[in-house]
Structure 1
Amino acid sequence: MIEVPEQGVERSAMVIHANWSNGFLHLWCEQPTPNHDHQIEATDDSLVHSHAARPVGLPAWVQGQERTLTLRLPAIEEEPVPSVTMSRLIGRDQDEDSAAVLREFTVPTLAIKPIDAGPVLEWLVEHGDSDHDDDEHAFGGLGAGIKYFVAASRLASHLLAGHRVVPMILQDAQGELSAGWWPWLSDPMTAARVQKLVDSMPGVGRSVVNEHAHDAWSLTTDFLAAVTDARCRSTMIREEMHDTVEDADPESDPQVAWLLGLLDNTEEVPSVQGQRADIVRKVRRWISELEDRGESSDWVFGLRIAEPIADGLAADISRPDATVKWSLSFYLQSVDDEEIVLRASDIWLIQRERIVISGLTLENPQELLMAELGRASRHYKKLEEALDSSEPIEILLDSQEAYAFLRENKPILEEQGFVVQSPPWWESPSGRLGARLKIESDPAETMFDENGDPDGAAPQLGLNSLVGYHWEIAIGDTTLTLHEFEQLAQQNAPLVRIGGKWVEIRPEDVQNAIKFIGENPGGEMELGEAMQLALASDSSQTGLPVTGLEATGWVASLLGGEDGASIKLPELETPERFNGTLRPYQSRGMSWMSFMEQFGFGACLADDMGLGKTIQMLALMVHERTVAPDGKVDPTLLVVPMSVIGNWMKEAQKFAPQLRVMVHHGVDRLTDDSFSEAASNSDLILTTY
């Protein structure tokens, strides 16, 4: 026991407190009167706690070191506010402390080693409280910190009794290895118990100014880890477990090196530089197999493969050499919110064991990242390279490895619950070799008059017009010349850059392209047939994706292309016989539908509800009958929900009363010849489904 001079205050008037810092349990006393025997001085950042003293009168078996701690405690001006226990002891009204603010105070402490923390805390509970009036060792009261760390110590004992501990290995920034025994907190029941304990931590317990930054979880798990490690080592020494590897050579056996850091008081793992990566990789892989987090975790491990971004690393349509590297980087992603992502490069900058991001808690992010990386390496062996690093961020792949990862390993990792982010083009047809239909038609200026309307002398334009066509090989928006395609076929490279973009070149696509072009030399067909061929072809029939069409001449103008004169959309006036005035956007809608019908195209008017699609359609019907040479137009069939048939009849009567409306619905609807006769004498036939 450390001899401490008596300070003139009875123990029965003192409150004893506990804090955890720098691997020691620090005990200090709070007394009701000022302590004038301090051997410590104030600093620029902290004041001396005027009522603090080191514990006195502890049993002789309690071994400790004289230390000091800086605490952030409530204060009024420069005087610390008495603790709750002391206030109760001296009868102080805590309402007097409403104006208190936090100030830093230095207190003298007795620092207890982790191996002795449990027995000392239990002794204080048994003998150190004022409830034991007949005990000469009794203090006036136990601070909230004492009671908290008693509960934490008992939790550590519970975990040890249940063998809920695992051997671990750590690697510092310089690559040096150390071993330790850690409590296993990952199963749901244990994690819930630890969380409940952490939530109950009193303010004085987390008041220490140190690297834990007043974080209750970080302080508690650090205490549990230190106590667990100390007790496990004590057992190993008592059982002389070190003798089992005494004659083994740690330089030839990584497991022996690890054990030497676990079986006595030496944490250092003896190893030479070349062994360390192998030791760390094997231990982390073993640890990762203890728990499959997978989809049950609140955070999921992610991998992002990124294409080389430096210009000039790979020339267009050439096989990338070994210097072209793809990055496979690591991150953690929230299961609840996929937008919340924490990159590995940021994780290694975190100094706390528990952080909160956008309201979501992430505990032990570095430990979780390493555990999940180890689990992922069981499904993708290339990741074992990352386990060699103390702070892995990414691994680099050449183009062949990147392609193998995307084609083979990505699906496997995703099946195991990992997230894999690939370049946008990877699963897009535009990122693969495909066929594009080229439609050739006469120049637009020869087919339309100066107003943009079809020239009466020109052939009838529309989907039935004959056009020339041929197929081209393309990747995305880039059309390949015959020379470029032959060059591409010779590369035999799965990933190449074309037009400055990386694309996938499958060997089967190259062969299918050669076969398809050979079997489809081109020719003439109707425009509608050509468009259907380009936009509705099945790749199972063509052998490779059909990526769309490109047109020249009047077809390009019609489809919005830049080749040839653009076709002017006729601006129709509201028909004179229409009882109403169309708004500008409604007039454009009617004009557009008339234009599309003129060329034989279907149309979909997708105005929002309430913007007048009904009156636009009625206006179009009036316009058609106004411009028809003899005023006769075949009847229009309108299929609508049954609930709006009445509205259509009402609107037609209001805006276009000259239209003859026939309702074909219900048990009394006409059939056969009677229907044909009635329909031929109608302008609008309303029916439902």
Structure 2
Amino acid sequence: MAILHGIWLNKKQNNCLFIWGETWRSAQVNADISDAEIPSHPLAMTAQELSEWLSSRNLKIANFIQQPQVAVTAGRKRQSTAVKEVPLPSQAQIIALPTQISVNSISPIHSAVESIDSQPYLHPWKVEGFCLQPSVAIKFLASLPLSNISGKDAFISGDLRFWSQVARWSLDLISRSKFLPIIQRETDKLIASWQVLLDSAVDGTRLEKFSQLMPLGCRTYQTAIESEEFTPSQLYVDLPLPPQELILGFLNSTIDVQVREMLGSQAIIEPRMMAALPAGVRQWLQGLTTESPTINADAIGVERLQAALTAWTLPLQYQLTHKALFRTCFELRSPEAGESAWKLIYYLQAADDPAFLVDAATIWQHPVEQLVYQNRTIEQPQETFMRGLGLASRLYPAIAPSLETEYPESLSLNPIQAYDFIKSVAWRLEDSGLGVVLPASLANREGWANRLGLKITAETPNQQQGRLGLQSLLNFQWKLAIGGQTISKAQFDRLVALNSPLVEINGEWVELRPQDIKTAQSFFASRKEKMSLSLEDALRLSTGDTQAIEKLPVVSFEASGALQELIGALTNNQAIAPLPTPANFKGELRPYQQRGAAWLAFLERWGLGACLADDMGLGKTIQFIAFLLHLKEQDALEKPTLLVCPTSVLGNWEREVKKFAPTIKILQYHGDKRPKGKTFTETAKKYNIVVTSYSLIHRDLKSLQTVDWQAIVLDEAQNVKNSDAKQSQAVRQLEATFRIALTGTPVENRLQELWSILDFLNPGYLGNKQFFQRRFAMPIEKYGDSASLNQLRSLVQPFILRRLKTDKDIIQDLPEKQEMTVFCGLSPEQATLYQKVVEESLSEIDTATGLQRRGMILALLIKLKQVCNHPAQYLKADSLDKYNSGKLQRLDEMLEEAIAEGDRALIFTQFAEWGKLLKPHLEKQLGREIFFLYGSTSKKQREEMIDRFQQDPQGPPIMILFDH
């Protein structure tokens, strides 16, 4: 296990992102603080190890490092290829290292603090890594995966994830032009650069949040000591560094290089105009676009340029250098009764309390340095107020005429100007650190509820609760609505006649968008009678997946009657009453199993496909049997049900049905003697369940299509996770009124597997395969889009019932499942063979490309699995006597313990040839008969094995299963 760290080194002349790696290794460390040399971190990778490890993650450091850099380590200078050693603090003595490593446990910071001369200090470790300059750092951070919480991307530490998020913020700031050109003084030089501009309340709040969330590891570095000799006291680290200082240093450096790269070598102004400028101004403009930002301090025009830049940024200086407690605010007030003019009222507003407002008249009446108002003190109220008005006038020139009055307090606007202020100006003022207050009904400018749209009320036809299906049409009524209020067609026509983007309805002002007016008029012209609403539409509207009908926004959706009950039950399966145990059921259902059977019965009544995805061991089989028995006792089981399952459990299904529901007739459709043609069609009608295998489903599709099935059930439904497989396509061609999928793993690797199962249950509900990939799979899997994930979850939740063993509300009396991972070392023979296979295969892989290369990598992994099992398997030997295997030795020990305790054991293997070697070895080792069940085992042998293993006290206690 390895963890990649990243810390920002905020130095005056050479800011960089320092990356280093931490890995697990057994070590004992005794760092003596009297040593002049800083000890190396015991878990840190060397630069070579880090480079190789990054390459294995497709993050080749050569892609980011462009030139050698000088590495400095405590007291000595040396040349190194893009490598730098940076001391990180920790406690002075490490007695033992943790055996299990996580991001937290391997952090270089510990709570222990030593002391010398009664002064607390932290003792530094030295780590070796790569220093990435700002331009390279941005590319490196952009190359890191976004989904970095668990799984294959868990190698990214919290500190590196933090800087990755700040890097994304820098892109947001650039996109909003939140940067300024400035002149900086560094020692005796003047530098042309771009500086981040965090002048809005939003960005200020974000800076504070980033500062609060910064991991401690981001602040615990020490710049290398460059003196030839130093004392131990020089090793003590001054902590902590201010978070905001680090973040601003990062933003300034990375935004500067990104803006330069965007501008390239292009001239900011025309060459003819450039030639007419003073030398200092020319150097400054050129320095903003080139890699040589230095300005000659004695150049002509530099002083005037500095004065001009200061004057230009003067309105922003207060916000850039102070945390403003109060800001100028603008309230848009709607017209009084009988008037048409809107007013923009000026205030001072508290930054931490938007409801605290001081009107302009009060400010002008108190020309004081400190104004005490409602128990709060405002420093320089008039100056703060005027600064905000001046900035606002530059962003919104319409304010400028009002500033020509002696005491500006407000501005009159016509409806068009008021609309323009809401749409185009308000967000600019807020983005520049000013306050804006809008009428409550207009404040949510992007909310669908405030748009002109449809208010829909729907119910099932004639309150019918029979099998509707997703495509069944509903009875519904629609009305026009805007701003939460319903309007008639006549009212709509009157509002349109006003020709105003802002209209008043029952005392509230709302926005009447031109595009919505056109859409509504087109809707009326095409006549609403053509509009239909299906059960699927209703479900999508209730989950928020559908937001428009015939291009007109749906601002409100209400279900009534039975439809309301259906949607409520689908979104909350606990609302469904448990199904009492059927009278002919031979056994007792647990409460959660009664709810599962009731859930299946509920969806069956509505004709909606159901995926029962309970955890393994919670009884999906008996829940389905109880559901089917319930239908039979209700005289609702009119046609046969087709049940498709893996070949290995055909007999198990037949036994389970006969055990729990002997009144249900079951036919096992498998083997050479199975009925065919018309004989099968007539025979199937005499049974309640016909059980067959996935291997037969596509071969006998035409025969199966001749039967009118009441339900189609897929056991272990993950077998159809590949929608392009023949068996997956075959089950979709079978017609039935109800479909069920039984699986403990509806998603194993990719979301397309979920789509395949749901598309079998409710065809078309999640769109076609390509649409699902664009809408959900790619945003969720590639970009970690939480909104798409939540939307997908709300869509599929009604049709998937998932309960876990760990849920104490589900079951109280099952023992906890115990899992133990045992690590086995390689024997010398295995290790030698392992290394040989790796070296030979890698030399071939290096020369391959494309699909051939991928195939060779997969083949190598399979070979290595075989070597780890036993050298004899890889070498295709006839027995396991000639070689040794650490894994086999441990297996022998575990089985001996299990048999001594009277337990039984299942051994799973993905290699049939390994099972053939293992069976005689275990029989010889344990002196007992061993079962081996694999593909070539006949049906009769398979059933005999399972029956003896489960029922015979004297039968073989161990069974090997070929799990392919």
TM-score range (shorter-chain normalised) is 0.3 to 0.5
Which has the larger share of helix? Answer: 2
Of structures 1 and 2, the one with the larger relative CO (CA 8 A, separation 6+) is 1
TM-score between the two structures when normalised by the length of structure 1: 0.39
